[in-house]
């Protein structure tokens, strides 16, 4: 056998440097680097945006490979050292290669949790797994048997002499140094990369596959440790809290939207101050920013809230989704979606409605499915469908770094929406009104920019205006297609668009002065819209109750006629007469109709003055409020960190098995269900005799809507905002 192989190698001449330990080591290192770079460009869609990101991309495979592969150099024994080196090399190649193959199907990277359930992935793929391999895959793996055989047949000779310890140390030190440099570059390019972990693509782009996997492993380990310590007994405190905190529904509102489709419209980075706001341009002409949302706000079919606050933390959008659909808070650090979305048990809106009222559920979002780990978390939430960017026609022109722009997004969603069985529970995550608030496209420019010193603020109004029109067009479609009348449409802002650090520049625009701007003002800016639009209702009004996103779920459930007393929800129905007007921010700050306690100081809402320590009666009252806030947050943390819902059975819900969900071939899935139901199919498409309603969608550009205005304001190319993104955005 060995002889045969020797013959195959024949007279093949290998460079002599391969006969030294260091020679082989550096060869493997370079090969590893080259394969990684190949995968970066050929396999993964990392969205590299600028030169610096290319630099980071080129150096990030070096540090981790040098460090890990370098371990073999410390071993003195000849054989053991070579075996270790080849084993590490093979494992690193395997990690890269499996990620490449996995990405072809899932547009995602392999997490430790995926590895732990690897059998499930493989069986889920079935025969299609073979389809995922390409002929050029040999590039990844062919050198491994080559080196092993060459070593076995002494074509490559193993060097007896070990590498000097000081060299090995030096390599490790260089690796650590390069890694630190890499990390610093990455942090400056994308602040909050590690603390927020919003996207696996970002982590790989900035740190590389190896570092990503190690980091993911550490996080998974930590989360699992806490979970392992939790037990059913921990539920007791939670149940007590929920019982005491439960606010019974107002009978006149209970069930007024029963059986209707639910359509959530997520207004990205949209603050309440934009409602009824007009931006005055340089000529003194006022431009209403969101005319459509303003008309909805005071419509007789809309229940609007003007003291509704976002309660998010570092998980931003994902925190808002957690709050709105689970009535739980996000985590005190990082994002619940990314840390526990794949593994925790939830009792989220789509699950409750699916199991108790026969709803079909779907999320629509024109960005990569693994952003915020949505592609996994939505399964845990019980979402039947998740239409991510793979389901949309996304081009360089109609998208930006956070995905497809809102107008094409809503328009292209119609083809899927019409195929859902009714009643459905849906969520549309708009995204164009996201930092950096740059112009959408030249056809969409025209709405005036503000003229503050802060370019981010200046662009905010135009993107909000674009969102407004996109939502209006979507409403027009809902009306034209007939979905409108039988739906309840809820619009909410997920969090601030202008961060506190920029608010001083915003002050003048909201009728304040920047010199007197303080934390009291910052707190007031955390209001976001919350509008419940129920076509056909005539009792709509603007409700002034102090409330937050955690209250949205019980509110909706009661409108749909669903009893919530057996669910573990931390918020209170906004129409309930029993509710307490106390809004907790995630960091322990809070706000009531009388007081604002924000980042250490408490103010009277009436006049913004500080409550001094001398006012002891008030201080006692504030202490009680603070304790309540702390308790609510700690109950939320106990549920989330301990994964306590896995022990809770009184809801009567059957626990979700995420393996039952797949977001890969959803059009086929909808068609199969429709075919199976036959005449009983309730999808809009079926009710429309199989004819698509997509044609009813009418979408126009800003220039179509405002032909004259745009012609006068010739294009101004200085409008693109390329400011560096601060951590708070
Ligand atoms: C990305 C979008 C933005 O898909 O939801 O998230 P954010 O940065 O606002 O948390
Ligand atoms: Mn957001």
Spatial CB neighbours of 580, under 8 Å, sequence gap ≥ 6:
247, 572, 628
91 and 59 in one domain?
yes
Same domain flag for 576 and 601: yes
Mutation test residue for ligand 1: of 196, 371, 430, 728, the one with most atoms within 8 Å of CB? 371
Averaged over 509-517, what is the pLDDT?
A: 96
What pLDDT does residue 189 have? 84
Q: Are residues 173 and 143 in the same domain?
A: yes
Q: What is the pLDDT of residue 49?
A: 81
At residue 89, does pLDDT exceed 90? yes
Residue in 268, 368, 728 to alter for ligand 1 test, most ligand atoms within 8 A of Cβ? 268
HEC-encoded secondary structure of 134-163: CHHHHHHHCHHHHHHHHHHCCCCCCCCCCC
Residue 684 domain-assigned (yes or no): no
Read off the pLDDT of each residue in 289-299 and give the average, rounded to a whole number: 98
88, two tokens: 């590490």
Query: How confident is the model at residue 723, as a pLDDT?
Result: 39
Report the separation in Å between the CA atom of 491 and the middle of ligand 2, taken as the mean of its atom positions.
14
The string of pLDDT tens digits covering residues 643-684 is: 999 999 999 999 999 999 999 999 999 999 999 999 999 999
Pair 402, 551 in one domain: yes
Structure tokens at 407: 């107008």
Q: Cα of 324 to ligand 2 centre, how many Å?
A: 13
pLDDT at 371: 94
Res 716 pLDDT > 90: no
Looking at the fold, whether 453 and 566 belong to one and the same domain comes out as yes
Ligand nearest to the CA of 367: 1
Of 227, 246, 271, the last residue of a domain is: 227
- Ligand 1 atom closest to 269 (CA): 9
pLDDT in tens, 166-175: 999 999 999 9
Give percent of the chain above pLDDT 90.
Answer: 82
Residue 386 Cβ inside 6 Å of ligand 1? The answer reads: no
* Structure letter (DSSP) for residue 282: T
CATH code for the domain of 380? 3.40.720.10
CA 443 distance to own-chain centroid = 28
Residue where a domain terminates, one of 227, 245, 275: 227
Cα distance between residue 65 and residue 211, in whole Å: 9
Which positions ≥6 away from 615 have C-beta within 8 Å? none
Facing residues of 541 across strands? 303
pLDDT at 123: 60
> Does residue 466 share a domain with residue 337?
yes
Cis check for the bond before 436: say yes or no (omega within 30 of 0): yes
Picking from 345, 353, 333, the residue whose alpha carbon sits closest to that of residue 377 is 345
pLDDT at residue 726, rounded to an integer? 41
DSSP bridge partners of 120? none
Residue 718: per-residue pLDDT = 42
Answer whether residue 521 is part of any domain: yes
- Please report, rounded to a whole number, the percentage of residues in the chain having pLDDT higher than 70: 94
Ligand 2 center to 268 CA (angstroms): 5
pLDDT at 599: 85
Judge whether 422 and 384 are in contact, CB under 8 Å: no
* Distance (Å) of CA 548 to CA 31, 186, 239: 54, 34, 21
pLDDT digits (tens, 9 = 90+) for 100-116: 998 887 788 999 988 88
Residue 14, pLDDT above cutoff 90: no
Reply yes or no on whether the pLDDT at 728 is more than 70. Answer: no
Helix (H, G, I), strand (E, B) or coil at 598: strand
Residue 194 CB contacts under 8 Å (≥ 6 apart), including other chains: 187, 215
Q: Which ligand is nearest to the CA of 374?
A: 1
pLDDT at position 717 is: 43
For the entire predicted model, the pTM comes to: 0.87
Structural domain includes residue 170: yes
User: Does the residue 418 lie in any domain?
Assistant: yes
Helix-helix angle 349-357:552-559, to 10 degrees: 20
Tell whether the model's pLDDT for residue 120 goes beyond 80: no
- Which uninterrupted H or E stretch holds 425? strand 424-429
Domain enclosing residue 287, as ranges: 235-654
Least confident of 93-102, 124-133, 321-330: 124-133
Distances 569 to 339, 358, 573 between C-alpha atoms, Å: 20, 21, 10
Q: Which residues are catalytic?
A: 317
Give the tens place of pLDDT for each residue, 446-492.
Answer: 999 999 999 999 999 999 999 999 999 999 999 999 999 999 999 99
Report the distance separating Cα 461 and Cα 290, nearest Å: 9
Predicted pLDDT at 719: 42
pLDDT score of 263: 98
CA 319 to chain centre: 8
712 CB contacts (<8 Å, ≥6 apart)?
none
Q: How far apart are CA 719 and CA 459, in angstroms?
A: 8
Residue 712, pLDDT > 60, answer no
* Mean pLDDT score, 258-267: 98
Q: What is the mean pLDDT of the chain?
A: 93
Residues 444 and 536 grouped into a single domain? yes
- The tens digit of pLDDT for each residue in 432-453 reads 999 999 878 889 999 999 999 9
Half-sphere exposure for 264 (CA within 13 Å, toward CB): 25
In this structure, are 376 and 467 located in the same domain?
A: yes
- Higher confidence at residue 615 or residue 561? 561
Measuring from atom 3 of ligand 1, which residue has the nearest CA?
A: 317
Which pLDDT does position 714 carry in this prediction?
46
Index of the ligand 1 atom closest to the CA of residue 317: 10
User: End-to-end alpha-carbon separation of the chain, Å?
Assistant: 63
* Ligand 1 atom with minimal separation from the 318 CA: 10
Asked, for residue 250, whether it belongs to a domain, the answer is: yes
Note the pLDDT of residue 334: 86
What is the Å distance from ligand 2's center to 316 Cα?
5
Of 526, 459, 517, the residue nearest 499 (C-alpha): 526
Whether 29 is covered by a domain: the verdict is yes
CA separation for the pair 725, 729 (Å, rounded): 7
CB 330 within 8 A of CB 312: yes
Q: What is the rounded distance in angstroms from the CA atom of residue 292 to the CA atom of residue 275?
A: 10
Pairing of strands 286-288, 308-309: unpaired
Same domain, 394 and 248: yes
The pLDDT of residue 480 is 98
pLDDT of residue 104: 85
Checking 686-691 for CB contacts under 8 A at 24+ apart, the result is 688/418, 688/481
Q: How far apart are CA 178 and CA 649, in angstroms?
A: 51
Q: Is residue 523 part of a domain?
A: yes
> Does residue 431 have its Cβ closer than 6 Å to ligand 1?
yes
Residue 3 pLDDT exceeds 80: no
Q: CB atoms < 10 A from the CB of 675, how many?
A: 9
248 shares a domain with 191: no
CA–CA dist 245, 252 (Å, integer): 21
- Clarify whether residues 221 and 240 are in a common domain: no
Instruction: For residue 402, give the ligand 1 atom closest to its CA.
Output: 1
Number of independent structural domains in the chain? 2
Residues listed for the chain: 729
Among 173, 208, 227, identify where a domain stops: 227
Q: Is 672 within a domain?
A: no
Same domain, 262 and 114: no
Q: How far is CA 122 from CA 116, 127, 636, in A?
A: 12, 9, 35
**DSSP per-residue letters across 217-270:** HHHHHHHHHHHHH--GGGHHHHHHHHHHH--PPPTTTTTTTTT-EEEEEEETT-
Hey, which of 108, 191, 192, 198 would you mutate to test ligand 1's pocket, going by the most ligand atoms within 8 Å of its Cβ?
A: 198
Written as six digits, the tokens of 55 are 């630099």
């Amino acid at each position: 056998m060995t002889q045969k192989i020797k013959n195959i190698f024949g007279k093949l001449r290998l460079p002599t440097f391969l006969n030294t330990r260091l020679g082989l080591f550096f060869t493997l290192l370079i090969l590893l680097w080259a394969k990684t770079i190949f995968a970066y460009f050929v396999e993964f869609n990392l969205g590299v945006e600028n030169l610096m990101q290319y630099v980071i991309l080129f150096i990030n495979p070096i540090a981790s490979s040098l460090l890990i592969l370098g371990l073999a150099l410390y071993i003195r024994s000849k054989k053991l050292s070579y075996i270790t080196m080849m084993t590490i090399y093979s494992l690193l190649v395997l990690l890269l290669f499996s990620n490449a193959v996995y990405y072809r199907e899932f547009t995602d990277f392999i997490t430790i949790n995926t590895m732990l359930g690897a059998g499930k992935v493989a069986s889920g793929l079935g025969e299609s797994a073979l389809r995922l391999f390409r002929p050029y895959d040999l590039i990844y793996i062919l050198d491994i048997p080559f080196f092993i055989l060459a070593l076995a047949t002494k074509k490559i000779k193993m060097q007896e002499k070990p590498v000097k310890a000081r060299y090995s140390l030096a390599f490790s030190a260089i690796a650590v140094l390069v890694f630190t440099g890499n990390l610093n570059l990455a942090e400056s390019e994308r602040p909050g990369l590690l603390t927020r972990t919003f996207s696996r693509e970002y982590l790989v782009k900035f740190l590389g596959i190896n570092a990503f996997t190690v980091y993911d492993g550490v996080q998974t380990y930590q989360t699992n440790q806490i979970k392992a310590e939790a037990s059913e007994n921990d539920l007791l405190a939670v149940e007590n809290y929920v019982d005491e905190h439960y606010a019974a529904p107002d009978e006149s509102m209970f069930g007024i939207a029963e059986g209707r489709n639910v359509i959530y419209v997520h207004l990205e980075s949209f603050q309440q101050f934009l409602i009824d706001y007009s931006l005055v341009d340089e000529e003194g002409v006022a431009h209403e920013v969101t005319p459509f949302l303003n008309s909805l706000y005071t419509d007789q079919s809309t229940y609007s809230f003007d003291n509704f606050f976002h309660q998010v933390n570092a998980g931003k959008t994902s925190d808002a989704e957690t709050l709105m659909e689970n009535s739980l808070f996000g985590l005190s650090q990082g994002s619940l979606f990314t840390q526990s979305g794949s593994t925790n048990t939830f009792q989220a809106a789509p699950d409750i409605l699916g199991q108790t009222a026969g709803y079909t559920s779907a999320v629509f979002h024109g960005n990569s499915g693994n952003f915020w780990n949505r592609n996994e978390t939505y399964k845990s939430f019980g979402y039947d469908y998740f239409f991510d960017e793979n389901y949309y026609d996304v081009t360089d022109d109609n998208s930006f770094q956070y995905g497809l722009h809102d107008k094409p997004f809503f328009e292209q969603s119609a083809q899927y929406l019409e195929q859902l069985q009714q009643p459905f529970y849906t969520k549309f995550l708009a995204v164009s009104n996201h930092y950096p608030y740059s112009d959408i496209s030249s056809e969409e420019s025209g709405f005036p920019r503000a003229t503050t010193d802060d370019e981010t603020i200046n662009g905010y109004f135009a993107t909000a205006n674009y969102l407004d029109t996109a939502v209006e067009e979507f409403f027009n479609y809902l009306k034209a297609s007939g979905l409108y009348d039988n739906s309840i449409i809820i619009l909410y802002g997920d969090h601030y668009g202008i961060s506190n650090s920029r608010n001083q520049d915003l002050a003048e625009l909201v009728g304040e002065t920047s010199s007197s701007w303080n934390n009291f003002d910052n707190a007031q800016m955390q209001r976001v819209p919350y509008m419940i639009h129920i076509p056909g209702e005539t009792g709509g009004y603007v409700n002034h109750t102090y409330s937050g996103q955690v209250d949205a779920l019980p509110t909706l459930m009661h409108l749909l006629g669903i009893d919530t007393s057996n669910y573990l929800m931390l918020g209170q129905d906004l129409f309930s007469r029993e509710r307490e007007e106390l809004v907790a921010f995630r960091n322990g700050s809070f706000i009531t109709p009388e007081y604002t306690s924000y980042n250490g100081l408490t103010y009277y809402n009436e006049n913004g003055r500080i409550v001094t320590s001398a006012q002891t009666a008030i201080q006692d009252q504030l202490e009680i409020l603070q304790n309540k806030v702390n308790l609510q947050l700690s109950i939320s943390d106990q549920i989330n960190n301990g994964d306590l819902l896995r022990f809770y059975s009184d809801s009567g819900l059957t626990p979700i098995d995420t393996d039952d969900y797949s977001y890969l071939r959803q059009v086929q899935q909808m068609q199969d269900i429709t075919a199976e139901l036959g005449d009983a199919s309730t999808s809009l498409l079926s009710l429309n005799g199989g004819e698509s309603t997509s044609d009813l969608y009418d979408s126009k550009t800003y220039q179509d809507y405002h032909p004259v205005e745009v012609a006068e304001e010739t294009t101004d190319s200085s409008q693109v905002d390329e400011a560096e993104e601060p951590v708070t955005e």
